[in-house]
Amino acid sequence: MWRRGADGDGYVANFVESEQIVQINGFTGSFVQVRGSIPLLWEQIVDLTYKPKFEVVRPEEAPQVVKRHFLDLQKRYGAVLAVDLVNKHGSEGRLCEKYANAMQHIASDDIRYLHFDFHQICGHIHFERLSYLYDQIEGFLKKNRYFLLNENGEKVEEQLGVVRTNCIDCLDRTNVTQSMIARKLLESQLQCIGVFIADDTIGKYPHFDECFKIMWANHGDEISIQYSGTPALKGDFVRFGKRTMDGIVKDGCNALARYYLNNFRDGAKQDAIDLLHGHFIVSAKRDLTPQSQHQGLESIASLRLALALGLSCLLFAIMSLKQARSDFRHFFFSLFWACLSLGLAAFVRANGRIFCNRPRLNKSLR
């Protein structure tokens, strides 16, 4: 969560270009899609809560940042269809609204924005309802096509545009959606080559269908592991075509793992990435002490210590309460220890950010 949204130049977090390539009967075809964080200046700073609130930074710059991002995409890929999968309500809804408003300033025949409330329409199990989304983007896909070379290496088709998909992380909902789009385009390519007849689908060939699902599930897992530290959620639908109880349990475990990594491991990971990418340059003249040194409450903040103290106070409260029958004064001792435990918990919650593992090198992430 230490990288969200865009920077001032319009470059976004977790931007991934995925190219699906097929080679058969001398033909070579490809289809490109992209994903990336919502191109606004926003952040979601970890603070021990399961879903930290979204904060938009410098909202007055949003139109320019969005414009820079999409002009860059247009230069690279041609026409762009932005498919936004975030929730329409709640904190995601507020971010969605700002994104949609910013897109109004640059919308044209070659740059389009489409919102599809994935959770509202598909829920957690009815992912087949993505067909509703396909119905809305089918015209764009047919108009902008895909890339195809014939047996002689001659270009038969050319991809003239790209679908840009996002959710909040650009991982789980995005991967399910991209796999659906990729399936439809692969079927079109195989029909054009003559491998499929007009009504054929990948689903009619079980072994082919299984290989396709596994390929996209593995693809989603790799991107998710790099960005969040765990395999993708909802991967059972991509892998098997349906939600399974085993998949739901794995999603729960991965969600807990993400929470742990986000709060207690990713700060150091972000520092490593910043060093490798040159966002922080180490030099003999540069003094690291002011940036890496803990100050104020942070110098003594330790979640382990806070948990130990809280549990100790709770234990004393229980022990005192048991003795209250023989000596009423212990009831007040129990109340004191209980209040101390609750007060400590409230303090940790109110100051959650200082108990998390945060980047130390890059000032913009502190």
Looking at residue 328, its pLDDT comes to: 77
Local confidence pLDDT in tens for the 366 residues of the chain:
888 999 999 999 999 999 999 999 999 999 999 999 999 999 999 999 998 999 999 989 999 999 999 999 999 999 999 999 999 998 899 999 999 999 999 999 999 999 999 999 998 788 889 999 999 999 999 999 999 999 999 999 999 999 999 999 999 999 999 999 999 999 999 999 999 998 899 999 999 999 999 999 999 999 999 999 999 998 888 888 888 889 999 999 999 999 999 999 999 999 998 888 888 887 765 555 544 445 566 666 788 888 888 899 989 888 888 887 777 788 888 899 899 999 988 988 888 888 898 888 876 554
Angstrom distance (rounded) from CA 72 to CA 82: 13
Report residue 340 as tokens.
Answer: 């101390």
User: CB–CB of 190/22 below 8 Å?
Assistant: yes
| pLDDT value for 329 | 80
Measure the CA–CA gap between 152 and 168, rounded to whole angstroms.
43
Residue type (1 letter), 264: F
d(CA 104, CA 250) in angstroms, rounded, equals: 39
- How far is CA 343 from each of CA 7, 174, 319, 347, 352, rounded to the nearest angstrom? 39, 41, 19, 6, 14
Report strand pairing: 27-35 vs 16-24. Answer: antiparallel
The two structure tokens encoding residue 300: 């003594």
Q: Is 230 left (phi over 0), alpha (psi -120 to 50) or beta?
A: beta
Long-range contacts of 341-349 (CB under 8 A, 24+ apart): 341/310, 341/311, 341/313, 341/314, 341/317, 344/306, 344/309, 344/310, 344/313, 345/310, 347/306, 348/48, 348/303, 348/306, 348/310, 349/48
Coil, strand or helix: which one is 155? strand
